[in-house]
Amino acid sequence: MGCFACQVQRVFAMSLDEASVELNEVKAALRWHSNDTPRYLSEPDPKSSFIRFTLHLDTISALFAVQIPISYKQHTKISTIYIHIHPRSILSLTHSIQQELPDAVKPIFDSASPSAICLDLKLSDPVAILIPTFISEPVTAARLRSGIILDSVHDLVQTTTTSLRIYMPNDALSPHQLQVVCDANTLRLFSNSDYGDHSRWFSDRGAKITTLLKPSPPSYNASTDAQENTPLYNESAIFAPPATSHKRKRSQDLVDKPDRVPSAAVIWDRLLELEAVVQHRPQSIISKDQSQHVQKLHDAIADLQTQLTQCENKVTDRDAVIAKLQTQLAQCEKKVEVLDTEIASLREAQDEANNEESVAMIDIHDSLRDFEQKLDFITRGKDDDEFKHTLKEDLLWCQTTHVSRVHIELSMLCQGHLVSIEQSTPAHDMCLVRDQLLALCHLSSAIKKAGGTGSTLGLRQ
């Protein structure tokens, strides 16, 4: 029989070598029992991430590890803690498909197919907790949610004989792979596996096994102070009564998920606890609390009134500043209008000055042209006969025109004077006047002839 068992084990090892299992960081949730009460761990910190399960299996080794994101107080960038399940501590391993999931596990998986694969492990030894080597002990959490996770993991470790269930998606492993894992554990193929070397954990930074501290409940004095300082009708205390232990608050946070409404029994129990707390408080404490609360309200109202007065004063000051700015704006607008008018006048004056400058430049150009002509005459007029002839003809034409104009004016003057004399002079003097005018006409003709001849002679000379 022993040889037959060895042969069966050898044959299965050969088949297992052909079908090794590699499952890397799939979504998962945990369930165990503490004092015959089921406990769940399904929400990490932050809640946007997931708890991850890793399973590696071959003929010589196996790895079962659960990765839980948390926030360390010392190193906020490192946010992972590992639960290492040693293969030699697994007494039994079975699998099943769970169709009806607990309320604590449902939000982790797809709502369209609310089913999950369950690996049920019976452990002979507690699980090991691994943290990075550079995290100092004792381990402390940075946030409340991480502290709740540490308390839950501590409770899991303290369970001497642990019955652990791992939930994972129903498509994470095939039925054949699940059967291979269960059969390998049954035949104890990896009973000698040893994962004592943790140097490659946490991205080759190394890991170490740690022992989590037991969460300490609040002292009696702290609990009493919390009761005395709680107002009588504090709305925040309706579903969270005072004098509850630190551990109870964290366990309730795991049970009461934010995306579910508490059951009627839980609400009723809390109401009874609150009623008991209120009824058992001494009347003196209640009156003292009420008077203190009223005094605080009066102080708050006085502070608000003071702040309101200050705000009103600030508003008044700002209104005055706004009115002053509006006046300055109106003055600036008037100044702008005056400046626009002055600019228009200056532009008009500039245009006129430009026009005058253009006229002056034209006159200067004409004068320069005349000077050039005169200079040309001076430089070449003495030796140029054609130029002299042209100049003489021009002068002759000018004198002839001038003499003709004088002759016409004298003729018109004589005729007009003769008519006026005939109208105003008696008949016996008309003969004498007519003779004088005729003499003037002959004189004008003689002047014309003499002028033309003299001019011609002068020019010829």
Question: pLDDT tens across 112-157, in order?
Answer: 677 899 999 998 888 889 988 888 888 888 888 888 999 989 888 8
State mean pLDDT over 18-45.
87
Question: Among residues 116, 81, 118, which one has the least CA distance to residue 99?
Answer: 116
pLDDT confidence band for 335 (50 / 70 / 90): very high
State mean pLDDT over 46-59.
87
pLDDT confidence band for 395 (50 / 70 / 90): confident
Exposure on the CB side of residue 109, measured as CA atoms within 13 A: 25
What local confidence, expressed as pLDDT, does residue 126 receive?
87
Sheet holding 37-41, edge to edge: 37-41, 29-34, 162-169, 116-123, 90-98
What local confidence, expressed as pLDDT, does residue 254 receive?
47
State mean pLDDT over 308-335.
93
> Per-domain residue ranges for the chain?
2-210, 223-281, 306-380, 385-460
What local confidence, expressed as pLDDT, does residue 118 receive?
93
Calpha distance 235→233 (Å, rounded): 6
Give the mean pLDDT of the chain: 74
pLDDT confidence band for 28 (50 / 70 / 90): very high
State mean pLDDT over 206-232.
60
Residue type at 428?
Answer: H
| φ, ψ dihedrals at 165, nearest 5° | -115, 135
Helix/strand/coil percentages in the chain, nearest 5: 55, 15, 25
Burial degree of 32 (CB within 10 A; 0-12, 13-18, 19+): buried
Residue 207, beta-bridge partner list: 132
Out of 92-101, 244-253, 317-326, 381-390, which region has the weakest mean confidence (pLDDT)? 244-253
What local confidence, expressed as pLDDT, does residue 300 receive?
87
State mean pLDDT over 266-290.
63
The residue ranking higher by pLDDT, 87 or 264, is 87
pLDDT confidence band for 245 (50 / 70 / 90): very low
Out of 195-199, 306-310, 385-389, which region has the weakest mean confidence (pLDDT)? 195-199
Residue 196 scores a pLDDT above 80: no
Sheet holding 81-85, edge to edge: 21-27, 52-57, 62-68, 81-85, 128-132, 207-210
Residue type at 256?
Answer: D
| φ, ψ dihedrals at 123, nearest 5° | -110, 140
pLDDT confidence band for 190 (50 / 70 / 90): low
Q: Which contiguous run of DSSP H or E holds residue 25?
A: strand 21-27
State mean pLDDT over 323-338.
94
Q: How far is CA 316 from CA 50, 310, 320, 321, in A?
A: 56, 10, 6, 9
Q: For 76-102, give one letter per residue: b (16+ CB within 10 A) or e.
A: eebbbbbbbbbbebbeebebeeeeebe
- On whether the CB atoms of residues 1 and 151 are closer than 8 A, the answer is no
What local confidence, expressed as pLDDT, does residue 383 receive?
59
What local confidence, expressed as pLDDT, does residue 434 receive?
65
What DSSP state is assigned to residue 75?
-
pLDDT confidence band for 217 (50 / 70 / 90): low
pLDDT confidence band for 31 (50 / 70 / 90): very high
407 CA to centre of own chain: 102
Q: How far is CA 42 from CA 73, 163, 257, 301, 361, in A?
A: 21, 17, 10, 46, 100
Residue 94, beta-bridge partner list: 120
What local confidence, expressed as pLDDT, does residue 134 receive?
84
What local confidence, expressed as pLDDT, does residue 319 receive?
93
